[in-house]
Chains A and B, each alone.
Chain A
Amino acid sequence: MMQRVTISNFMHPLMLLACLLCLGACGAKSVKKMDASLMMEPTEFRTEVNHWPEEKEHDIDFLDIYDPWEPMNRNLYNFNAGLDEYFMLPVTTVYDTVVPSPVRTGVGNVIQNANEVGTLVNCILQGKVEKGAITTSRFLINTTFGVLGLFDWASESENLKLQEEDFGQTFGVWGMGNGPYFVMPLFGPSNLRDTVGFGADFLFLLLEMKHAYKLLGIKNTKTVAYTELVLRALNRRSTTAFRYHSTGSPFEYELIRFVYTKKRELDILH
């Protein structure tokens, strides 16, 4: 008897996940067509004039970003795109359909509020007084009046807009260079410095979660922690508009690499 309960308890979430995946998988409704004229058989046609790349100084310097691991990065980019299409997006679609929008907003707000602590620490590490003050005010307002961050009242004020600082930016402010560009498995565009920063952000988050659970008197910390991490992932994907291969460009990898690097450069300056 005991044994059976355990198995069904274990099976239940898995079954649920499987059902959710099936539900979410109905992305693009695809139809196959046969047409012999559309096989794209190789032709003998070759252009007489060509524009082959030559070994030379790059013309578009700003797009040229230090990326010694490019072949691996490109494959990681494709891997992430596949993972996104076949796992993250279907699961997120289910999350968006099953969980009502106000609840999702609440979840997003609570996570955002918890993240203010990390931002504040990084503001202090970078000596950014004004941003630190804004973040502190936001955290105090939203934790009290916003019921542990469920509501983001602070953003109603023009002067209390969300600030974002992380360890990657802190390392940048301290003078650490980008290092090689790196596509993190699962998490996407980064560079060596920001990957280390990402690790620091994560460790800090775990520390923060541990203290928060203690403060809130939560006993079953392991289950709650896993739930929180899953919710964080769902919330992040659900609120990120980016879709892989949606730029309509075969040079998407290059574009994203440039935009990421430029954005981080500006964020560090700011």
Chain B
Amino acid sequence: MHYIYVRKLLPSAKMRKLLFLLIVATLLTPTVSPAGSDYAYPYQDAYKATVYGTPPELVHPIKDPVEPKLRSIKIDGRRIPDVLSYSSEMFYSTALQKDAAPLIFVIAGTGAEHNSAKMKFLTKLFYQAGYHVVALSSPTHMNFVVSVSEHGAPGYVPYDVNDLYRVMLWIKADIAKECEVSGYSITGYSLGAMHSAFLAHRDSEKGDFNFEKVLMINPPVSLIHSVARIDSWLTPENLGDLTVHEEIEHFIEMFSEYYERADVTDLDDNFMYELVTHVDLKDKDLRALIAVDFRVSSSSMIFASDVMLQAGYVVPPDEYPLTTGKPMLPYAEEAFEISFKEYLNEFLLPYIQYKEPGVDRYTLMKECSLYAIRSYLMETEKIVVIGNRNDVILNEHDLDFIDTVFGSRAKLYPTGGHCGNLMYTPFAEAMLEMLKP
């Protein structure tokens, strides 16, 4: 009896719910723009977004994702020290379509490799959208510095762009032998976005690629300013009484505690996400974590560069040749201590002046910023920007620059921090949309 009563009631309850939903939907439709309504990225906090990224359940699903192929380029006869010989080839990855298709180059962010998590995601995303994909490590990644960089001192955008351009021409020629390419586009995130813009500018003078679209994802406006900002998070201004080492030990303690508590058996990507989201990190800690991560990659870069040039910056000249058995921790510690500003003043600028007398600090800073190609960016319709208003590497001036120079060609989300929402469906779909001719 009771059972029948419930069964009879169900349809009408369902109907009422449906009706209610319909009314709500109709009421809301005119007021909420379609772009805004589906954007519900979970982290409002810019630092949380930057560190946590996109929760696994919200990552844009890619059906039957392609497994990118590993390839390499080796410069014949290049002098490479024994201790870095494992990096003698430049590694990159490709995902090529069977039939004729447009090709997109993807450039990684500072210190990142061609197959980092973000790069893999972008490779799979663009491949599924029908592109041939070529994914390149950042010129600031050790492997790039050691294997193909002309000057061996990364961070100076004009040199890095030269290196990228040369490599891309080689790859273009090699891939043309394997499949049909109907056109070229270029993209990159973070520093890779800045490189993309400069590469497009270079191409506009040389005409090798005639890029159809240039998509800049979360670009810095001034490399030096953005890096200085990150570096400042390891100063007392952010850390208070703690030294950097105490802060790192604090992280290790917190992570260890979590490891104990969570009964972890697998150290996979999900574990990393679980770890950072389950440990109570304050904004100050998140800032420090971003900065420490940056220092770890910059110390790799600085050491590799110093060894390639034997410039006597971290490794004393009388310690060459470095043998493969030589303990490296003392160098690692020294290199970790070096801020980007110090690297710039003590290594990069003097080296560029050695190569090109007359370049001063101001020129260097300008050449490493979008100001150097401002008018080109302003008048070139095919260049588009996607990013976030609360990107932690941008300040008010940078946002003004993006708004003024790109206008409606820039799509900025309110939240997402620096690349935090890169894998979030609305962001991923917007990237594809913006790449369309």
Contact in complex: A41, B313 (CB < 8 Å): no
Contact in complex: A74, B249 (CB < 8 Å): no
Contact in complex: A31, B174 (CB < 8 Å): yes
Asked if A2 CB lies within 8 Å of chain B CBs, one says no
Contact in complex: A42, B310 (CB < 8 Å): yes
Q: Which residues of B contact A59 (CB under 8 A)?
A: 245, 333, 337
Number of A-B pairs, beta carbon distance below 8 Å: 180
Q: Which residues of A contact B256 (CB under 8 A)?
A: 262, 266
Closest approach, in angstroms, between the C-beta of B423 and any C-beta of chain A? 19
Q: Which residues of B contact A51 (CB under 8 A)?
A: 313-314, 334-335, 337-338
Asked if B330 CB lies within 8 Å of chain A CBs, one says yes
Q: Which residues of B contact A75 (CB under 8 A)?
A: 324-325
Q: Kindly name the residue among B248, B331, B333 whose own CB sees the greatest number of chain A CB atoms within 10 A.
A: B333
Q: A159 CA to B79 CA in the complex, in Å? A: 56
Q: A270 CA to B264 CA in the complex, in Å? A: 11
Closest approach, in angstroms, between the C-beta of A159 and any C-beta of chain B? 11
**CB contact under 8 A between A46 and B265, given known A70-B327, A248-B143:** no
For chain B residues 58-108, which have a beta carbon within 8 Å of chain A?
69-80, 83-84, 86-87, 89, 91
Contact in complex: B334, A53 (CB < 8 Å): yes
Contact in complex: A45, B351 (CB < 8 Å): yes
Q: A71 CA to B79 CA in the complex, in Å? A: 24
Q: A81 CA to B354 CA in the complex, in Å? A: 38
Q: A28 CA to B71 CA in the complex, in Å? A: 4
Contact in complex: A39, B79 (CB < 8 Å): yes
Contact in complex: A53, B331 (CB < 8 Å): yes
Closest approach, in angstroms, between the C-beta of A83 and any C-beta of chain B? 13
Asked if B332 CB lies within 8 Å of chain A CBs, one says yes
Contact in complex: A52, B334 (CB < 8 Å): yes
Q: Which residues of B contact A53 (CB under 8 A)?
A: 314, 330-331, 333-334
Q: Which of B201-209, B295-303, B367-375 contacts A (4 or more CB under 8 A)?
A: B295-303
Contact in complex: B350, A47 (CB < 8 Å): yes
**CB contact under 8 A between A78 and B314, given known A31-B71, A33-B76, A248-B113:** no
**CB contact under 8 A between A43 and B249, given known A248-B111, A251-B332:** no
Q: Which residues of B contact A72 (CB under 8 A)?
A: 325
Closest approach, in angstroms, between the C-beta of B96 and any C-beta of chain A? 11
Say which residue of B73, B87, B248, B328 sits within 8 Å of A245 (CB atoms): B87
